[in-house]
């Protein structure tokens, strides 16, 4: 199994439907997000994360919003990581995640 997983900003965007790639409940999602914000939040959570700006989300070919390569830790699934990431991002934004 790979020792990492990828996180695209689209996974956490409130404006996307589940069919369009959102991986969280709409209440947990964010309005705007960049790969750099994901890297900062992942590092605050104790993960090793690297932004790959030249990559695009397959469902948005050509958009090049980037992706983040996150090193796995034992006991953490990607779904659990995304929930932790969303909570951290919302906690570190002014006005409870509004932006």
What angle (nearest 5°) sits at the alpha carbon of residue 29, between those of residues 23 and 35? 80
The pLDDT-based confidence of 95 (bands split at 50, 70, 90) is low
Residue 42's CATH number: 3.30.56.30
Q: Is the pTM of this model over 0.85?
A: yes
Whether 41 and 88 have beta carbons less than 8 Å apart is answered as yes
Whether 49 and 43 have beta carbons less than 8 Å apart is answered as yes
Residue 15 belongs to some domain of the structure: yes
Residue 12 belongs to some domain of the structure: yes
Mean pLDDT (whole number) for 25-35: 94
Average pLDDT, the chain: 90
The pLDDT-based confidence of 96 (bands split at 50, 70, 90) is very low
Residue 69 belongs to some domain of the structure: yes
Domain that holds residue 45: 4-91
Q: What letter does residue 24 receive in the DSSP assignment? A: S
- What is the tally of structural domains in the chain? 1
């Amino acid at each position: 199994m790979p020792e990492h997983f990828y996180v695209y900003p689209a996974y956490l965007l409130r404006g996307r439907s589940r069919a369009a790639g959102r991986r969280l409940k709409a209440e947990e999602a964010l309005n705007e997000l960049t790969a750099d914000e994901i890297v900062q939040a992942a590092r605050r959570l104790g993960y090793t994360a690297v932004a790959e700006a030249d990559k695009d989300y397959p469902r948005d070919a050509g958009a090049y919003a980037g992706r983040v390569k996150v090193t796995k830790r034992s006991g953490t699934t990607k779904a659990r990581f995304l929930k932790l990431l969303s909570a951290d991002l919302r906690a570190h934004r002014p006005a409870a995640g509004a932006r």
